[in-house]
Amino acid sequence: VTGLSIRHVGEHFQRSNSTISKYFKKILFAFLSRDIYSKYVRLPRSDAPIHPIICDNPKFFPFFADAIGAIDGTHIACAPSSEERDAMQNRK
């Protein structure tokens, strides 16, 4: 489930926060293992075309015209300058 906190998931499944966190980490590390990561994860190529949903929507295209990667809530670490830090701060 995306976008939910550990507390919400724990409440839904009637488990403690530590249990949810423990098994989430186990699953995360399993997906990050070399066998699964190298077989299923494909990074976008630099010459890949821009998706039509982005190109055809004026709300997205000016801002994501040169973007490479996922636009699905993925957290991307960045190191902005001190002037840009407030605009780049993660809301969560």
Phi then psi dihedrals of residue 44, to 5 deg: -70, 145
How many angstroms from the chain centroid is the CA of residue 3? 10
CB 20 within 8 A of CB 6: yes
pLDDT 10s digits, 4-56: 888 998 999 999 999 999 999 998 898 888 888 888 877 767 677 777 877 88
pLDDT reading at 90 higher than 90:
no
Does residue 50 come out as left (phi exceeding 0), alpha (psi in the -120 to 50 range) or beta?
A: beta
**The pTM of the whole model exceeds 0.85:** no
Domain residue ranges in the chain: 1-41, 44-91
CB 6 within 8 A of CB 21: yes
For residue 72, which of 49, 48, 54 has the smallest C-alpha distance?
54
